[in-house]
Amino acid sequence: MKTITTDEVLNLFDANEDLNILDVREDAEVANGIIPGAIHIPLGQISERMAELDGDQAYIIVCKAGGRSFQAASYLEEKGFDTTNLEGGMDAWDGELEF
């Protein structure tokens, strides 16, 4: 599985790259802030809401610390999606947040 660091994601944002961020944390966690522009689908809803994702796009998957995003990225990868796990998750994120 591919991984990416928060610094690498911030550099891509700074370069105005179009990124698809998928946040798989629970609603209560997202209430504390989400990466701007991220799509929020809790891990437990991935299989039923997978149709909301574009199979032609690459996704960076994020959770609190990296474990749930690893599970989501693995599952979506098995379904044919191009996924990358954000190392350290939101615990490592020091960029902007939306509330």
- DSSP letter string, 66-94: SHHHHHHHHHHHHTT-EEEEETTHHHH--
Q: Is 97 contained in some domain?
A: no
User: Residue 34's domain is classified under what CATH number?
Assistant: 3.40.250.10
User: What's the mean per-residue pLDDT of the chain?
Assistant: 97
**Which structural domain range is residue 77 located in?**
2-92
Which of 32, 28, 40 is closest to 69 using CA atoms? 40
Q: Give the C-alpha separation, 94 to 72, whole Å.
A: 22
| Catalytic, out of 63, 72, 73, 86 | 63
Q: Is 72 contained in some domain?
A: yes
pTM to 2 decimal places: 0.96
Q: Is 17 contained in some domain?
A: yes
Task: Reply yes or no on whether 63 is catalytic.
Answer: yes
Q: Give the C-alpha separation, 2 to 60, whole Å.
A: 9
User: Using one digit for the tens of pLDDT, what is the confidence trace for 16-38?
Assistant: 999 999 999 999 999 999 999 99
